[in-house]
Amino acid sequence: MKRKTFLKILGGVAALGAVSYIAVPSFEEMLLKVLKADTKGLNIDEKAFTTYLEDYKKENPLRFKSSKQQFIQASYIFDYPYVPNPYKHKYQQFRSLLVGNFLLSTDFFTNKMDLSKKINYVGVYNPHLRPCANPFSYLYYPAA
């Protein structure tokens, strides 16, 4: 089954869900829930989430097409163990990109993932606007 076909089926199910008064979150609402869930256990300044979301909306740093956003939303809504999704690994990869962009927008990685430090928002990770900020590169881990 192709991803577009899968998306159409999920879209149909989502429409049924809407008829049944199941709330469908917007992409931004979903993103906030995803970020909070997937960074649970990290000591993140609460303001970091809201400021990031505002900047994400302005800059769209990942340049996701609407079809990709819809796929992520549909997969998120039906992300239950008993709902089969042949593209679950793709959903998880995209979800990792979202969480990754958020964490790259903080000082978590530049602080070498030090769990003892409070994590602060530093600016949305967008290399065309703020280049040379890859915290995993040789600039942060030079040859010994």
Query: What residues line the site for other proteins (CB under 8 A)?
Result: 38, 40-42, 89, 92-93, 95-97, 99-100, 103-104, 109, 113, 125, 127-129, 131-143
Report helix, strand or coil for 119. strand
Q: How far is the CB of 70 from other proteins (least distance, A)?
A: 19
Pick between residue 22 and residue 139 the one whose CB is nearest to other proteins. 139
Query: Looking at beta carbons only, is 25 or 86 nearer to other proteins?
Result: 86
Phi, psi (deg, nearest 5) at residue 114: -75, 110
Q: Find where tokens 């990869």 sit.
A: 93
Provide the β-strand partners of residue 130: none
Instruction: Report the nearest approach of other proteins to the CB of residue 6 (Å).
Output: 14
- Tell which residue, 122, 107, 118, has the closest CA to residue 51: 122
Q: Report, in Å, the least distance between residue 142 CB and other proteins.
A: 7
Two structure tokens written together for 15: 């429409």
